[in-house]
Chains A and B, each alone.
Chain A
Amino acid sequence: MNPKERKTRGDDRVTKGLRAEGVISRAGLMTSILLLGGLMVLGAVRGELAEIRLNAVTLCLSCLGLGR
């Protein structure tokens, strides 16, 4: 594509930018992040951190192609 065509076709990008604006509002985004934070707290309270650690320190032979 030559520069001239690029400029003509892409004029509206100057304001649009690279991102999908308008898909979710700022408030919706922040609420989602807070809810995900809530999930993390819930998981931690449920004892998932201990399970994550136990799984991670157990000798894993998957990287040898053998499974656990």
Chain B
Amino acid sequence: MRVNGRPRFRRQTRIRYQLTSLVLSNLSLAGALKFLPYPFLHCYACPLAAAACPIGTLQHFIIVGEIPLFLIGFVGAVGLLVSRLPCGWLCPFGFIQDLLRRTGAALGIYEIRLPGGVTPVITRLLAVVFLVLLLPSLTGNPWFCRLCPAGTLEGGIWIPFIRPGVLSLIGAFYWFKIGLLAFTILLALSAKRPFCRFMCPMGFLLGLGGGVAALTGSGSRRREVHVEKCNACSLCRRVCPADVDPSVPVKGFPDVLVESLNCIECDECERCPTGAIARRR
């Protein structure tokens, strides 16, 4: 089906990509690809993880006092090429949160609207500065990993089953982590992607390329909002997994930038019934 001469956005396509990524990133392959970081957050302690978590790796390099040139180049290049597209199309934990919110909606759970705009950008920045950079360098411990609910879900709850020896090491902090995961899951049932929007350091780093990314930001395929076609139905905001409202007028450069930092390039807003939001052709 086409709207104003453009192909209508198909949600199933994104779900297929997310499912494929979930399978591929958990192929294990006996750790053969663990020298490469994922372009999204995925715990390498997960028994099935095929590659390395970029944030866990970054903390490791900070703890040992080395500059991770490969990782900086990799994350920077992904950010400048496609910005947060891996968040919207590939990240398994983002996919899980999408599913949780859809489940919540199907169960009739009321949607909590968390703050948008610059607030989530600041909280993600604080996670990068304190949990990924500062605390690991001061304490020698990867503090983001120690708190990360994605790590708890993908690795923390499985390791005790696979390696019963670690059971004796589990203490109160483990149960605190389980509590954090439970809180994140409960919140994701009623709010859109709470972890991605407020905590994910990878999302912050990739989002730095949001306004200018070569393939999604400033190139010929950039997304445009044709306000004269907008009938203010708010569908774009309602379907956006990152709770961005593309139909709110841009008042200046900072607003464009903030919007770009939060956008996960999922293209859901292109479901616009009047074709007001579409990529330039």
- Distance (Å) between the CB of B204 and the closest chain A CB? 17
CA distance A41 to B72 in the complex (A): 11
| Residues of B contacting A2 in the complex (Cβ-Cβ under 8 angstroms) | 232
Q: Is the CB of A64 within 8 A of B218?
A: no
Q: Verify B36–A49 contact, CB threshold 8 A.
A: yes
For this complex, 16 residue pairs linking A to B, each with C-beta atoms less than 8 Å apart, are A11-B227, A16-B250, A17-B280, A20-B212, A36-B76, A40-B69, A42-B69, A43-B70, A48-B71, A53-B34, A60-B145, A62-B56, A63-B45, A63-B159, A64-B170, A65-B146
Cα A24 to Cα B156 with chains together (Å): 42
Number of residues of chain B lying within 8 A (CB) of chain A: 76
Which residue, of B43, B51, B53, B256, has the highest number of chain A Cβ atoms within 10 A? B256
| Chain B interface (Cβ < 8 Å from any Cβ of A) | 31, 34-37, 43-45, 49, 51-53, 56-57, 60-61, 66, 68-74, 76-77, 80-81, 141-142, 145-146, 148, 151-152, 154-156, 159-160, 163, 166, 169-171, 173-174, 176-177, 211-212, 214, 217-218, 222-228, 230-232, 246-250, 253, 256-257, 259-260, 263, 280
Q: Report the 8 A-B pairs with minimum CB-CB distance, sorted nearest first.
A: A43-B70, A20-B211, A39-B73, A43-B69, A40-B73, A10-B227, A62-B145, A65-B173
Interface members, chain A 36-62 (any B CB < 8 Å): 36-44, 46, 48-53, 55-57, 59-62
Q: Given the complex of chains A and B, what is the CA–CA distance between A49 and B61 in angstroms?
A: 12
Chain B CB count within 10 A is highest, among A7, A20, A63, for A63
Residues of A contacting B177 with CB < 8 Å? 63-65
Q: Are B249 and A13 in contact (CB under 8 A)?
A: yes
